[in-house]
Chain A
Amino acid sequence: MTTTAAKKQLHRIDLIFKHEDDCKEILRNAFSRSDQEIVNEMVNSGLKGRGGAGFPTGLKWKLAAESDEKEKYVICNADEGEPGTFKDREILSRVPHKVLSGMAVCAKIIGAQKGYIYLRGEYKFLVPDLNKELGKFHDILDDLGLDFRVEIFLGSGAYICGEESALIESMEGKRGEPRNKPPFPSVRGFKGKPTVVNNVETLAHSYTILKFGAKKFRDLGVKDSRGSKVFSVSGDTPIPGIYELELGMTVQDFVDDFSDGDCKAVQVGGASGFLVPRKRFGKTTIGYEGKLTGISLPTGGSMMIFNSSRSMYNVLNNYLEFFEEESCGQCTPCRVGCQQLLKGIRAVKRGEKPASYLDQLLKLTETMKLTAKCGLGQSVANSFSSIVENFREEMIY
């Protein structure tokens, strides 16, 4: 990697992709410690779900471990469908043994005998290599005496199945429609049994924590956003790709590093995330604090850069087409809301509706945020309001 003297570069972390093949030793060591000790280590690390929602991982494992049920499951969520995200595929193809080790340790703690990787259909080409890796891994588990097997379950092209309860419905052979929560999967998940659903990257981080201890992980990042995060960088950048960076950076730091200088906005967290306009670059950090205020943005790692030549109307139109198609259609606020938002911005653009109609659409997104059943319908408001409020004139003219 080249650096120019004048340019400050963000600290590249090399934990996730660092090639290590000592997973047998890591597992042997983990299995020799008490379950309580490992759970504490995970909790102390401050690791939060890397799919984007940011639920504390240690707590998720603890909740599932507390259940008396005999049958339990560990599921690795590899249904990476958020626009602008491609890190999970890279992790699964480059360091699959770290993900599998995370699953095995989780299985040992909660008492699961069976695990699944829910792999999106778009990544079907990974299956042969992953199966080879699974064969090797199962041999290691046999040597160590852990009764746990992992299978791949393929998705079939539905963004909503990245939502954990929709993912479980899909695995049960049904339409991928999210369930009412509670109960959460850690209480009642796959086949009604306690189930831990963790993102690919989350599981890979748990390997790092087991290897180096909670402290090394905790030393990275800021207050409530500990550790590193794998970012998927795309759009108008000379260096698109995958980067592991520390949490807590400002969008300005990010742009200084990844933009060609002509950047007018950055979409943080994909279509369901927020658009940050240039004037807010310095004030917005990437992490989990102040989740709802938009000052610090949680993310699954999707960072899309838009240069000054891009029409933000086209960007929003593209997102809304995406949501309209990917809404599962189960609840009215999301099903009808997405359609009306798309129709609405098109009508304003064509002059069939007055500019003030945008305010009505903003109210509609507020309603969706309050009444939609799952994160999909609730988060349409994020990109919609952040684009319409900051680039209103582009919506109209």
Chain B
Amino acid sequence: MDFQEKLVQNLVSKYGRDRENLLPILQGVIDQERYLSEEVILKIAKEMSIPAAHVYGTASFYSFLDIEPRGKYVIRVCKTITCAMKGKNQIILAIEDFLKIKVGETTIDKKFTILQTNCLGWCHKAPAMLINDEVYTELTTESVVDILREYKAKE
């Protein structure tokens, strides 16, 4: 049994086969793999006995359930109004410059993906971003590079 199959089976037995457990199961795969591949969607469908189209329908609806390959660390910079006013464009330029990729792209070593996202709820401490589930606020072009440097040093 490959890793993916095991992951799906574990998640399904942890949460249950009922349809209302689909979101936690999909989130569980994201935690491990950062995206939902076609194969994983088919495996979940089979394991839960629901049509693959339904699994895909749910998966493709939510912005945090990526259906395209992502890096190990997904950077989501808030682009909504207050962060936009407080200089999120400069933050993005600094990230792009440091990682040498553009928004929407993943580094060749599959470590980082840069994305933009809608309001993160840190408008009083703008600009803000998420790296996977971690929140970083009151970013400056310097602080964001320091943060990324730490991630780069991680395995």
Contacts and interface: CB of A to CB of B under 8 A. Distances in A.
Contact of B134 (A125, A153, A158): A125
B123 A83 contact: yes
B123 A156 contact: no
29 contacts: A80-B121, A83-B123, A84-B123, A85-B121, A86-B121, A89-B121, A120-B121, A122-B121, A122-B135, A155-B62, A156-B65, A157-B63, A158-B62, A159-B119, A174-B22, A174-B58, A175-B61, A176-B61, A191-B20, A234-B126, A235-B81, A235-B85, A236-B85, A315-B81, A318-B79, A322-B81, A322-B118, A322-B119, A325-B118
Contacts, number: 125
A318 B83 CA distance: 11
A269 to B, nearest CB: 13
Interface string B44-72: 00000000001001100111110000000
Interface stretch (A10-18, A165-173, A336-344): A165-173
Nearest to A173: B22
A173 B102 CA distance: 33
Interface string A120-140: 111111000000000000000
A322 B80 contact: yes
Given A81-B121, A174-B58, A304-B81, 8 more contacts: A82-B119, A83-B82, A159-B119, A171-B23, A176-B62, A240-B124, A271-B81, A322-B118
A81 to B, nearest CB: 6
A286 interface: no
Interface residues of A, number: 51
Nearest to A271: B81
A86 B122 contact: yes
A326 interface: yes
Interface string A281-320: 0000000000000000000000010000010001100110
Contact of B64 (A89, A121, A325): A121
Interface string A146-158: 0000000111111
B145 interface: no
Interface in A66-85: 80-85
Contacts of A315: 81
